[in-house]
Chain A
Amino acid sequence: MAKVGAAVWIFILCALAACTNNPYPDADSGRSVLYRTMRKSPPKTLDPAVAYSVADHLVTGTVYDTLIDYDYLARPYRLIPGLVEAIPEEVEHGDGTWSLSFRLRPDLVYDTDECFELSRSGARSRPILASDIAFELMRLADPSVGSPVGAVFARIVGYAEFTKRLQALRDGDPAFEARRIDEQYREAGGVDGIRVRSDRDLEIVLSQSFPQLLYWFAMEFTTPVPWEAVVYYDGEDGRDVFSEHAVATGPFRLTRYEKRSRISLEPNSNWYGIRHPEWHAPGATYPTRGSQEDRSSGLLDPRYVGRPLPFLDGVELVFENEQIPGFNKFLQGYYDYSAIIEETFDQVVSEGGLTPGMEAMGVGLSKTPQAAVYYVGFNMDDPVVGRSGGDRSRLLRQAMSHAIDSEEFIRLFFSDRGIAAESPLPPSIFGSEEGEGNPFRRVDLDRARTLLAEAGYSRGIDPATGRPLKLSFTTGDTSARARLRYQFFVDSWRRIGIDVEIKSTNYNQFQDVLRRGAYQTFFFGWGADYPDPENFLFLLWGDLAKSKSGGANSANFDNPEYDALFLEMRNLPNGPERLAIIGRMLEILRVERPWIEIFTPEEYVLSHGWVRNLKSFGMSVPMLQYLDVDAPARTERRMAWNQPLEWPAWVLAALVVAAVIPGIVTFLRERQ
Chain B
Amino acid sequence: MIAYTVRRLAYGFATVLGVLTFLFALFFLYATPEDMARRALGEKAPPQALEQWIVNHDYHHPLLWNPDNPGQTLIVDHFRRMLTFDFGRSDADDVLVTRRLRKGVGPSLSLTVPLFVGGLFVSISLALFVATFRETYIDRAGVALCVFAMSVSILLYIIGGQFLIARVLRWFPISGFDPSPEVIGRFLVLPVFVGLAASFGEQVRFYRTVFVEETNRDYVRTARAKGCGDGRVMWHHVLRNAMIPIITRVVLAIPFLFTGSILLESFFAIPGLGSITVDAIHENDFATLRVMVFLGSLLFIVGQIATDICYTLADPRVRLE
A645 engages B169 (CB within 8 Å): yes
B269 at the interface (CB under 8 A from A): yes
Smallest CB separation, A256 vs chain B (Å): 10
A640-663 near B? 1/0 per residue, CB < 8 Å? 001111001100000000011001
Do A146 and B189 contact each other (CB < 8 Å), given the known contacts A5-B125, A235-B94, A663-B138? no
Smallest CB separation, A662 vs chain B (Å): 9
Q: Which of B229-254 contact A (CB under 8 A)?
A: 230-231, 235-236, 239
B118 engages A8 (CB within 8 Å): yes
Q: Which of B274-288 contact A (CB under 8 A)?
A: 275-276, 278-279, 282-283
B168 at the interface (CB under 8 A from A): yes
Which listed residue (B34, B186, B231) contacts A2, Cβ 8 A? B231
- Interface size for B (C-beta < 8 A) is 75
Chain B at the A interface: SS class? helix
Which of the candidate stretches A19-27, A111-119, A355-363 sits at the interface with the other chain?
A19-27
Smallest CB separation, A670 vs chain B (Å): 9
B160 at the interface (CB under 8 A from A): no
A325 engages B95 (CB within 8 Å): no
B268 proximity list for chain A (CB < 8 A): 325
A659 to B96 alpha-carbon distance, docked (Å): 55
Smallest CB separation, B37 vs chain A (Å): 9
A643 proximity list for chain B (CB < 8 A): 170
A636 at the interface (CB under 8 A from B): no
A508 proximity list for chain B (CB < 8 A): 32, 34-35, 38
A506 to B186 alpha-carbon distance, docked (Å): 42
A328 to B175 alpha-carbon distance, docked (Å): 10
A19 engages B186 (CB within 8 Å): yes
B231 engages A328 (CB within 8 Å): no
Which listed residue (A148, A325, A645, A666) contacts B46, Cβ 8 A? A148
| B120, closest chain A residue (CB) | A8
Smallest CB separation, A472 vs chain B (Å): 22
A25 engages B174 (CB within 8 Å): no
A52 engages B177 (CB within 8 Å): no
B182 proximity list for chain A (CB < 8 A): 25-26
B300 at the interface (CB under 8 A from A): no
Q: Which of B111-159 contact A (CB under 8 A)?
A: 117-118, 121-122, 124-125, 133, 136-138, 141, 159
A44 engages B92 (CB within 8 Å): yes
> Which of B103, B169, B236, B269 is packed against the most chain A CB atoms within 10 Å?
B269
A258 to B266 alpha-carbon distance, docked (Å): 16
Do A667 and B49 contact each other (CB < 8 Å), given the known contacts A328-B166, A508-B38? no
A644 engages B170 (CB within 8 Å): yes
| B167, closest chain A residue (CB) | A328
A4 at the interface (CB under 8 A from B): yes
B21-53 near A? 1/0 per residue, CB < 8 Å? 000000000001011001011111111110011
B85 at the interface (CB under 8 A from A): no
> Which of B45, B94, B117 is packed against the most chain A CB atoms within 10 Å?
B94
A507 engages B43 (CB within 8 Å): yes
A664 at the interface (CB under 8 A from B): yes
- Could you list 14 A-B pairs, sorted by A, with CB under 8 Å? A12-B118, A19-B186, A21-B170, A21-B171, A21-B172, A41-B282, A148-B46, A260-B275, A261-B177, A322-B267, A322-B269, A325-B268, A325-B269, A328-B174
